[in-house]
């Protein structure tokens, strides 16, 4: 940029007089607009090459419009409600489980005022926050006691730190999981101060392998659900009952990280092998750990259920305070758990279960209805219903397929990746799944009320 052009940049005050920025100041605020103009002009001064290529500066009116557009874009929240057309029901990138209406209502009630978070209303004395969900969790799982922390990773670190710091925890080599990059069991174990004692092999671990490793240094036996992979073929591992009976013989607790935390048996939805929290408790596991925002369909949290004495030790550990949940989490979790008191109610009211149990016929009808409307938009060359399958996601077994229907789009004049990118910038953004040269909009994860919004989003795109 020549010094001349720098001098030609209009002063802030002059730009603020321009129509688009005046209009914007009314809808956002004058402070936001002034700060936006300043930082836009700073960027402009920095962008020597771009301006030099343009040769001259735009007029103040045009510059005003550009700045206004830029401020509007900057004001968009980074966290936006998004239509999930990926078909992946527990997409960690898209916030895992959507909350039930009952949970949302409770968030408003509890969030908008004061609440009995840590006070016993009868006695007036100080109380503990997890009592908000303890009874619900013990009733639903059959456990003696329950605690809630920030997430299942936190639940695992806390449990190991409280029960096994400086001592050994025996885990099968087939269960040293990595869940989504930053969660690796050996690392979690070392952060907690517990010592990982690996036994067996990747594909075969016998009860005798655990038995041979038990000694003075052993604090617990741990089983970890291999949520996101399966070891198939020549395999063997003991049942939870066998582990529990070995642990009892040596007076050592079994910690069972079941991962996704199903409250009901997902076999009814065609998904087998997902451990049910209550089954693990009934089998005798002393401490059972799971996430709140996976198959339970609630808010992000980590749930610990099990023996009262052990949970008291866990609760007293200083990390408990560091990992504690807020009233919003407890409110949403309590409301979600209440729905599970009647399985039929849960299936209707917990969005994850409702999406999962939507009949294929229903998805087919919607795909057939939407395809021609989407095909009629300028950026789409062809759109047709497509029967395929998808999976749960969120660290669950990818091998378990769920039948679904999509609308499959072929782009016109742009690449399929470009079409996917543009749909992610609509209002609301739509996130689909690219498969070869087509963009799939998978209806398994789209709420029926979002169909017309999704069509409108494609219609917003011009060629
Ligand atoms: C998902 C998962 C975790 C981590 O849970 P977050 O709630 O995401 O922290 C830990 N263990 C297993 C087996 C899991 O499936």
pLDDT per position as a tens digit, 238-254: 999 999 999 999 999 99
Q: Checking DSSP bridges between strand 254-259 and strand 218-224, what pairing results, if any?
A: parallel
Ligand 1 center to 392 CA (angstroms) = 14
CB-based contact 152:289 (threshold 8 Å): yes
pLDDT of residue 227: 82
CB-based contact 364:406 (threshold 8 Å): no
3: its two tokens: 């010094």
At what angle are helices 451-460 and 360-375 packed, to 10 degrees? Answer: 20
From the CB of 152, is ligand 1 less than 6 Å away? yes
d(CA 205, CA 98): 37
Number of the ligand 1 atom closest to the C-alpha atom of 225: 13
Q: Is 380 helix (H, G, I), strand (E, B) or coil?
A: strand
180 pLDDT exceeds 90? no
Ligand 1 center to 352 CA (angstroms) = 17
Confidence bin at 393 (pLDDT 50/70/90):
confident
From the CB of 179, is ligand 1 less than 6 Å away? yes
Confidence bin at 56 (pLDDT 50/70/90):
confident
Q: Is 289 helix (H, G, I), strand (E, B) or coil?
A: strand
d(CA 334, CA 136): 7
CB-based contact 350:100 (threshold 8 Å): yes
CB-based contact 458:377 (threshold 8 Å): yes
- Got the DSSP string for 423-457? HTTSSS-EE-EEETTEEEEEGGGS-GGGHHHHHHH
From the CB of 295, is ligand 1 less than 6 Å away? no
CA-to-CA dists, residue 20 to 26, 33, 64, 74, 235, angstroms? 10, 11, 6, 16, 68
From the CB of 97, is ligand 1 less than 6 Å away? no
Ligand 1 center to 97 CA (angstroms) = 14
Q: Is 291 helix (H, G, I), strand (E, B) or coil?
A: strand
94-121 tens-digit pLDDT:
999 999 999 999 999 999 999 999 999 9
Tokens 């398994």 belong to: 444
54 pLDDT exceeds 80? no
Ligand 1 center to 152 CA (angstroms) = 5
Mean residue pLDDT across the chain:
93
At what angle are helices 30-46 and 60-75 packed, to 10 degrees? Answer: 110
From the CB of 175, is ligand 1 less than 6 Å away? no
From the CB of 150, is ligand 1 less than 6 Å away? no
Ligand 1 center to 293 CA (angstroms) = 10
From the CB of 224, is ligand 1 less than 6 Å away? yes
* Closest to 49 in 3D by CA, of 110, 15, 14, 2: 2
Phi–psi pair at 149, nearest 5 degrees = -130, -170
**89, 291, 293, best to mutate for ligand 1 pocket (most atoms within 8 Å of CB):** 291
CATH of domain 101-349: 3.40.640.10
pLDDT of residue 50: 57
Burial of 227 (C-beta count, 10 Å sphere; 0-12/13-18/19+): buried
Phi–psi pair at 311, nearest 5 degrees = -65, -30
CB-based contact 87:440 (threshold 8 Å): yes
d(CA 337, CA 292): 10
**192, 259, 392, 393, best to mutate for ligand 1 pocket (most atoms within 8 Å of CB):** 259
Residue ID of nearest Cα to ligand 1 atom 12: 259
Q: Checking DSSP bridges between strand 438-442 and strand 402-411, what pairing results, if any?
A: antiparallel
Helix (H) or strand (E) holding 150: none
d(CA 131, CA 137): 10
Please list, residue by residue across 63-80, b when 16 or more beta carbons sit within 10 angstroms of its beta carbon and e when fewer do: bbbebbeebeeeeeeeee
137 pLDDT exceeds 80? yes
- More confident position, 180 or 190: 190
- Got the DSSP string for 290-350? EESSSTT-SSS-EEEEE-HHHHHHHHHSHHHHHTB--HHHHHHHHHHHHHTTSHHHHHHHS
CB-based contact 207:241 (threshold 8 Å): no
Cα distance from N-terminal residue to C-terminal residue, the chain: 33
- More confident position, 198 or 398: 198
**97, 183, 262, best to mutate for ligand 1 pocket (most atoms within 8 Å of CB):** 183
pLDDT of residue 463: 67
CB-based contact 327:172 (threshold 8 Å): no
From the CB of 291, is ligand 1 less than 6 Å away? yes
Contacting residues for 341 by C-beta, under 8 A, at least 6 apart: 136, 139, 140
From the CB of 151, is ligand 1 less than 6 Å away? yes
Number of the ligand 1 atom closest to the C-alpha atom of 302: 7
Number of the ligand 1 atom closest to the C-alpha atom of 224: 13
Helix (H) or strand (E) holding 304: strand 302-306
210-230 tens-digit pLDDT:
999 999 999 999 999 988 888
Phi–psi pair at 26, nearest 5 degrees = -75, -35
Mean pLDDT score, 405-431? 96
Phi–psi pair at 397, nearest 5 degrees = -60, 115
From the CB of 395, is ligand 1 less than 6 Å away? yes
Ligand 1 center to 273 CA (angstroms) = 16
Residue ID of nearest Cα to ligand 1 atom 6: 152
Q: CB count, 10 Å around CB of 272?
A: 10
Q: Per DSSP, what are the bridge partners of residue 198?
A: 171
Residue ID of nearest Cα to ligand 1 atom 15: 259
Tokens 């689909």 belong to: 432
Number of the ligand 1 atom closest to the C-alpha atom of 228: 15
Angle at the Cα of 127 from the Cα atoms of 121 and 130, rounded to 5 degrees: 110
Phi–psi pair at 389, nearest 5 degrees = -135, 160
Q: Is 7 helix (H, G, I), strand (E, B) or coil?
A: helix
49 pLDDT exceeds 70? no
From the CB of 396, is ligand 1 less than 6 Å away? no
Ligand 1 center to 101 CA (angstroms) = 25
Residue ID of nearest Cα to ligand 1 atom 14: 259
63 pLDDT exceeds 60? yes
Residue ID of nearest Cα to ligand 1 atom 11: 259
76-96 tens-digit pLDDT:
899 999 999 999 999 999 999
Tokens 């956002």 belong to: 28
Contacting residues for 26 by C-beta, under 8 A, at least 6 apart: none
Sign of CA pseudo-dihedral 56, 60, 63, 65? negative
Confidence bin at 8 (pLDDT 50/70/90):
confident
Domain map (residue ranges) of the chain: 2-75, 83-93+356-460, 101-349
| Architecture field, domain 83-93+356-460 | Alpha-Beta Complex (3.90)
From the CB of 227, is ligand 1 less than 6 Å away? yes
């Amino acid at each position: 940029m020549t010094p001349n052009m720098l001098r030609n940049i209009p002063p802030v005050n002059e730009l603020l007089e321009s129509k688009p920025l005046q209009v914007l100041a009314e809808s956002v605020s004058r402070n936001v607009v002034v700060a936006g103009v300043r930082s836009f002009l700073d960027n402009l001064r920095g962008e020597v090459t771009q301006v030099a290529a343009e040769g001259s500066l735009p007029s103040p009116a045009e510059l005003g419009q550009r700045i206004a557009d830029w401020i509007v874009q900057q004001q968009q929240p980074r966290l936006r409600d998004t239509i999930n057309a990926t078909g992946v029901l527990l997409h960690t990138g898209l916030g895992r489980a959507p909350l039930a209406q009952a949970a949302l209502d409770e968030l408003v009630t509890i969030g908008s005022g004061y609440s009995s978070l840590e006070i016993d209303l009868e006695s007036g004395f100080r109380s503990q926050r997890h009592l908000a969900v303890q009874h619900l969790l013990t009733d639903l799982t059959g456990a003696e006691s329950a605690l809630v922390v920030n997430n299942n990773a936190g639940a695992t670190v806390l449990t190991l730190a409280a029960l096994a710091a400086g001592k050994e925890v025996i885990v099968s080599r087939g269960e040293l999981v990595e869940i989504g990059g930053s969660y690796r069991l050996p690392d979690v174990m070392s952060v907690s101060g517990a010592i990982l004692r690996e036994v067996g092999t990747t594909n075969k671990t016998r009860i005798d392998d655990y038995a041979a490793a038990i000694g003075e240094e052993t604090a617990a036996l741990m089983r970890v659900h291999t949520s996101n992979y399966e070891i198939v073929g020549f395999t063997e591992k003991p049942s939870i009952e066998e582990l529990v009976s070995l642990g009892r013989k040596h007076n050592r607790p079994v910690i069972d990280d079941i991962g996704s935390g199903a409250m009901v048996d997902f076999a009814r939805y065609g998904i087998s092998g997902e451990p049910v929290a209550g089954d693990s408790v009934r089998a005798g596991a002393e401490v059972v750990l799971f996430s709140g925002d996976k198959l339970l369909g609630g808010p992000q949290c980590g749930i610990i259920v099990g023996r009262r004495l052990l949970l008291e030790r866990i609760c007293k550990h200083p990390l408990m305070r560091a990992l504690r949940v807020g009233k919003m989490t407890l409110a949403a979790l309590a409301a979600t758990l209440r729905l599970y008191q009647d399985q039929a109610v849960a299936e209707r009211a917990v969005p994850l279960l409702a999406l999962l149990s939507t009949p294929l016929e229903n998805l087919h009808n919607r795909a057939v209805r939407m395809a021609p409307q989407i095909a009629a938009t300028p950026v789409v060359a062809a759109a047709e219903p497509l029967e395929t399958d998808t999976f749960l996601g969120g660290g669950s077994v990818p091998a378990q397929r769920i039948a679904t229907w999509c609308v499959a789009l072929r782009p016109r004049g742009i690449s399929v990746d470009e079409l996917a990118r543009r749909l992610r910038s609509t209002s609301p953004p739509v996130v689909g799944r690219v498969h070869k040269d087509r963009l799939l909009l998978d209806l398994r994860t789209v709420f029926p009320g979002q169909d017309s919004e999704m069509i409108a989003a494609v219609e917003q795109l011009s060629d």
